[in-house]
Amino acid sequence: MKTKPVIYAIVGVAALLLASCAPAVEQEPAPQLTFEVPIAMGADQELHISLGVHNAGAQGFAGDERFEGQMEIRDASGELRASAEVLDLPAIPAGDTAWPLAWRGELSPGAYRLTWGSDGYGFTTVEFAVVERNGRLYLADDAPAEEPTEAERFASQAIADLRERLSIDADQIVVESVTPTEFPDASLGVPEPGMIYAQVVTPGYVIRLIANGQTYEYHAAGERVVLASSDQGATGTVTVESIQVTSDAILVKGHSTFPDGTSIQTELLTGDQGTMWWPESTYAVVQDGVWQVIVSLDGVTLDRETSYTVYAWAETDDSTRVSFPFDLAGPPAPTDNWPVFSDETYGFQLAYPGDWTYKDLDAQGAGMPDDWPVERVVIFYPQAWAERFERSGPPDPDAPPAIPALSLEVCIGSEEQFRRAYVEPDRSETLTINGIEMVREESGSGEYVTVQYVFQNPANPDVRVVLVDNLSKFTDRAAEYPDIVDLIPTIVATFEFAR
């Protein structure tokens, strides 16, 4: 009766011995999957993306019905632009690659980030960009070299010339600006001795480069890129010649022996105190030895019992600082006896000198689009110039050019329509004349700068009257007609809308 427990014990020990002698079961190695994403731009201008899974392990991959792979394409801002899903993954022999999905679609030019993978197996990320070249889309890595623009080509030529002149590296030269302009003839304002140039308006560029702290100006058009001026080592003097005060602005005029393009800084003091309303950035640019600046009073009233002083100096040389004291004892030149030009349709008027006249031109001439916003063009000029604008027959190459002193143009429409006819200026400032806010705009540089005064009717913002100064900032014209140049600001100051 005592044998049975002994038998059970022996059996139990034997079972333990047998279990300890049994071979261990080997755990299956984790799959080693990597993700591949070849991308190509097809002839159809669509992206072709293949989603691949490579088995990098030594064992075959049995497949996964719960793979749940995801592909996303996002742009530079993170916005989702395309996506796809792969729900199950087939078996993949060791060393092989499966291609469960091919995606095709259109993407606009830009930078993108693509992710492809699965939460259970990891993800890969690919960054790529789509660019446009000559009307076709390419992947950035496969795109042909982009042709430089005309402006870039001219700037590169100017840099190469300056690099050789100064014996410096190109990376020591900074491009300050490349400005489209129109030169009055093919000399580009820089005639070479003994050369004859076509007397036609020549579209081109003014290129300003900075090297070693100095500014260099190049003129470029056609096959010619030529150094026009530089302020390297420039010295000279500055003088203030006159100050004219109206109810709305102060006009300061002066001369300088510094090279054209030199900036003249100005400042107004009351006694020994500066004025808060005089802008610190107020400066003028020397053109043919002359400079001028207009500062809006913008509600400021000058005291007739107070003495004021304007200071001016070359931006590159503080030692040239000069002063010009003035007061309000003498009012501006009277214009009460000037005739008045008025436009009843658009409700404005303008006074002009008694020995001047004006002429209406066709604002909607041949070749102008039907929706052109300029509705009226009137030119003003001295009566002594009348013959220039009355000629008939073939052009006379020896006759003075038919360029009016001042043009008045009425533009009707929105800001967008206005800028169809008048390009964005290179420089602008807001002034107030006769209680009307006006914008003075300048386009161009060097010896050829167009100045226009833009008056917007406060009662009807779609009506803009533009006064175009065709003389003051054109060096040759200003030198030939200095008295007329002096009159233009006074004429502009008489403009007003009907109240």
Confidence of residue 4 (pLDDT cuts 50, 70, 90): very low
| Residue 18 pLDDT > 80 | no
| Residue 193 pLDDT > 60 | no
Query: Under CATH, what is the fold of the domain 238-326?
Result: Immunoglobulin-like (2.60.40)
Residues 248-274, mean pLDDT to the nearest whole number: 78
Q: What are the start and end residues of each CATH 2.60.40.10 domain in the chain? A: 238-326
* 247 contact partners, CB below 8 Å, separation of at least 6: 297, 434
Q: Among the ranges 202-216, 276-290, 327-341, which has the highest mean pLDDT value?
A: 202-216
Residue 69 has a pLDDT of 95
Look up residue 339 and give its two tokens. Answer: 């005739």
Distance CA 494, CA 350 (A): 6
Residue 490 has a pLDDT of 85
Confidence of residue 464 (pLDDT cuts 50, 70, 90): very high
| Residue 495 pLDDT > 70 | yes
Q: Bigger pLDDT: 148 or 349?
A: 349
| Residue 61 pLDDT > 50 | yes
Determine the distance from the C-alpha atom of residue 116 to the mean position of all C-alpha atoms in its chain, rounded to a whole number.
Answer: 40
Lowest mean pLDDT of 186-190, 340-344, 420-424, name the range: 186-190
Residue 157 has a pLDDT of 94
**pTM to 2 decimal places:** 0.40
| Residue 465 pLDDT > 80 | yes
Residue in the structure block whose two tokens are 């890595």:
141
Q: Bigger pLDDT: 191 or 423?
A: 423
| Residue 317 pLDDT > 90 | no
Looking at every residue in the chain, the average pLDDT score rounds to 82
Q: Shortest CA distance to 376 belongs to which of 367, 365, 363, 366? A: 363
| Residue 330 pLDDT > 50 | no
By the 8 A CB rule, do 53 and 33 touch?
yes
Q: Bigger pLDDT: 83 or 446?
A: 83
Residue 67 has a pLDDT of 93
Cα Rg for the chain, rounded, in angstroms?
38
Q: What are the start and end residues of each CATH 3.40.1000 domain in the chain? A: 340-389+400-497
Residue 283 has a pLDDT of 61
Residue 86 has a pLDDT of 94
User: What is the percentage of the chain residues whose pLDDT exceeds 70?
Assistant: 83
| Residue 194 pLDDT > 60 | no
Look up residue 89 and give its two tokens. Answer: 């993954």
Count, residues in the chain: 499
Residues 222-232, mean pLDDT to the nearest whole number: 77
Q: Bigger pLDDT: 56 or 6?
A: 56
Determine the distance from the C-alpha atom of residue 167 to the mean position of all C-alpha atoms in its chain, rounded to a whole number.
Answer: 31
Lowest mean pLDDT of 127-131, 409-413, 490-494, name the range: 490-494
Residue in the structure block whose two tokens are 């809308």:
497
User: What is the percentage of the chain residues whose pLDDT exceeds 90?
Assistant: 37
By the 8 A CB rule, do 431 and 294 touch?
yes
Lowest mean pLDDT of 14-18, 33-37, 245-249, name the range: 14-18
Lowest mean pLDDT of 208-212, 230-234, 299-303, 346-350, name the range: 230-234
Lowest mean pLDDT of 98-102, 124-128, 324-328, 493-497, name the range: 324-328
Lowest mean pLDDT of 193-197, 449-453, 462-466, name the range: 193-197
| Residue 184 pLDDT > 50 | yes
Question: How far are the Cα atoms of 2, 249, 289, 301, 472 from residue 486, in angstroms, in the given order?
Answer: 139, 15, 15, 24, 8
Q: What are the start and end residues of each CATH 2.60.40.2360 domain in the chain? A: 33-142
Residue in the structure block whose two tokens are 């446009």:
132
Residue 349 has a pLDDT of 93
pLDDT (tens digit, 9 = 90+) per residue, 106-124? 999 999 999 999 999 999 9
Look up residue 420 and give its two tokens. Answer: 């169809």
By the 8 A CB rule, do 244 and 268 touch?
no
| Domain 33-142 annotated CATH 2.60.40.2360 | yes
Residues 182-204, mean pLDDT to the nearest whole number: 73
pLDDT (tens digit, 9 = 90+) per residue, 126-170? 999 999 888 889 998 888 877 788 899 999 999 999 998 888 899
Q: Bigger pLDDT: 19 or 185?
A: 185
| Residue 91 pLDDT > 80 | yes
The three-state DSSP-derived secondary structure of the chain is: CCHHHHHHHHHHHHHHHHHHHCCCCCCCCCCCEEEECCEEECCCCCEEEEEEEEECCCCCECCECCCCEEEEEEECCCCEEEEEEECCECCECCCCEEEEEEEEECCCCEEEEEEEEECCCEEEEEEEEEEEECCEEEEHHHCCCCCCCHHHHHHHHHHHHHHHHHCCCHHHEEEEEEEEEEECCCCCCCCCCCCCCCCCCEEEEEEEEEECCEEEEEEEECCEEEEEEECCCCCCCEEEEEEEECCCEEEEEEEECCCCCCEEEEEEEECCEECCCCCCCCEEECECCEEEEEEECCCCCCCCCCCEEEEEEECCEEEEEEEEEECCCCCCCCCCCCCEEEECCCCEEEECCCCEEEEEECCCCCCCCCCCCEEEEEEEEEHHHHHHHCCCCCCCCCCCCCCCCEEEEEEECCHHHHHHHCCCCCEEEEEEECCEEEEEEEEEECCEEEEEEEEECCCCCCEEEEEEECCCCEHHHHHHCHHHHHHHHHHHCCCEECC
340-389+400-497 CATH: 3.40.1000
* 122 contact partners, CB below 8 Å, separation of at least 6: 33, 35
Query: How many Cα atoms within 13 Å fall on the side-chain side of residue 422?
Result: 27
Distance CA 456, CA 407 (A): 16
pLDDT (tens digit, 9 = 90+) per residue, 390-402? 766 565 666 666 7
